[in-house]
A and B are shown apart, each in its own frame.
Chain A
Amino acid sequence: MKTVAKTGNEAMAYAMKQINPDVVAAYPITPATEVVQIFSNYVADGEVDTEFVAVESEHSALSACVGASLAGGRVMTSTSSQGLALMHEILYIAAGNRLPIVIALVNRSLSAPINIHCDHSDTMGSREAGWMQLYCANSQEAYDSLIIALKVAEQTAVPAIVSTDAFIISHAMERLEVLEDQEVQQFIGEYEPRFSALDLENPKTFGPLDLQDYFFEHKRAQIDDFSKVLETYERVAKEYAELSGRYYPALEEYKTDGADVAIFTAGSTADTAKEVVDELAEQGRKVGLVRMRMWRPLPVEEIKAALGKFKAVAVMDRSDTMADFGGPVFLETRGILYDAKKKPLLTDYVYGLGGRNIEISDIIRVYDEIEKVAKTGKPEKLITYLGVRGEE
């Protein structure tokens, strides 16, 4: 273990180097460009054994990854925003074929208007594609999560997206601890693919047409495999904690014991909110934080148990569903809590779209408002657009 200073992109590229995948096929996109740019340096310098495929689009990048994974390789790529959108149809193909590809992703808003800064609309728009999703709060977590996600993906045959917040994490230098190359290799182990298109002794048929007679059975089986991801994740995360001393549950609770109200959010904002929780706790206020780290599969029982303790919870969503009903985390959390025996009053704050800064004072305002909700038992407003001009 050694201490280094790295940005989120450098940390993810370094984890990829230590994983040493068989194939990386990628296309550059701001703000994730550096991940593969740095990785391609490792390739050029002979520090990895990876076959690096420079392709002409993200659609081709993930398509090449699908081919390499079907051939039995350990495969990774990196992208962001429009790049993930262009990969969209191939996301489903990778997941349906059970190819444990891992994407090192940087969360960036989707056009229009064109923007290169952080929100979560890219990955939230892909949440039905059948990929595990982990949202990281800092560079350390991004580094650790790629290693954990790769192992979970290969054990469950479910592909994974590990994401950081554009610029806030991707380009900010942080102190982090990294493992030795050998420790990472021992942890992830040799990849043993379930099948390989290059196994000429045992020829198989890949990607056949699947109509009314079998499509539904294949999808049902895929859904069932997905239901085992959380359990595998928790086991692998604990193994990783033994190795590194850092444990990342699917759902993180911060100072929730005895708290009356909580914010439920993801990504770098959760780390900012922890500062606020500390500050408010010193003033004797009963506030906590729940951080959603895994959003696919949904840690349903964990969310029920964690949020059920509070009188009021504010979801902070860094994207909107265009359903005129707030953000995706809010919508799905309401669904999860519907039949919970104990449930909080739930309101939504959509914030930070297109990289709009989220200030300490914004988060204090949210805590002020949910404390009021807890007291009155009635939210004044179900959905608030936080930090946008023209809004009260």
Chain B
Amino acid sequence: MSMKFDRPMNWKELPAGCLIDEAATSLRFKTGDWRSMRPLWNAEKCIHCLFCWITCPDTAITVQDGKMTGIDYDYCKGCGICAEICPPKASAIEMIREEK
């Protein structure tokens, strides 16, 4: 059975049990809209220590070739750990209110 995600399924369409018949389906569930605070990344100040990448609980720090490239706002819940862990001399991540 292949599951449909384009509309809410009725009970007759679901696979038996609490089963989702594929893996990594949470990728389709964008949790970024839970955010009330948004991290803003300043590329010029960033020293690419990757402390934020290693501590982000949602793997929402995007990195390419060993360099930080930005924040994935689809999944970032705005916890602020990245801003907290960013070395004070760099201060490359600032938390701002989401409505701004």
List chain A positions with a Cβ less than 8 A from chain B.
96-99, 157, 194-195, 202-208, 210, 213-214, 216-218, 220-221, 224-225
Contact = CB atoms under 8 A, between A and B. Distances in A.
Contact of B17 (A98, A203, A217, A224): A98
Interface of B: 8-12, 14, 16-25
Task: Name B's interface SS.
Answer: loop
A124 to B, nearest CB: 26
Ranked nearest first, the 8 interchain pairs of A and B with the lowest CB-CB distance are A203-B23, A205-B20, A98-B17, A217-B11, A220-B11, A221-B11, A97-B17, A98-B16
B18 A208 contact: yes
Nearest to A156: B16
Given A98-B17, A205-B20, 14 more contacts: A96-B18, A97-B18, A99-B17, A157-B17, A194-B16, A204-B19, A205-B23, A206-B18, A206-B19, A208-B18, A214-B9, A217-B14, A218-B17, A221-B12
A213 B23 contact: no
Nearest to A194: B16
Contacts of B14: 214, 217-218, 221
A157 B8 CA distance: 25
Contacts of A206: 18-19
B25 A205 contact: yes
A98 B15 CA distance: 10
Nearest to A207: B18
A224 B21 CA distance: 20
A218 B23 contact: no
A225 B20 CA distance: 18
Contact of A203 (B9, B18, B22): B22
A204 B18 contact: no
A199 to B, nearest CB: 11
A377 B9 CA distance: 53
A213 B21 CA distance: 18
B11 A205 contact: no
Contacts of A221: 11-12, 14, 16
B3 to A, nearest CB: 10
A319 B34 CA distance: 49
Given A217-B10, A218-B11, A224-B11, A205 B16 contact: no
Contacts of B23: 203-205
Contacts of B21: 195, 202, 204
Contacts of A98: 16-17
A221 B17 CA distance: 8
A146 to B, nearest CB: 23
B56 to A, nearest CB: 21
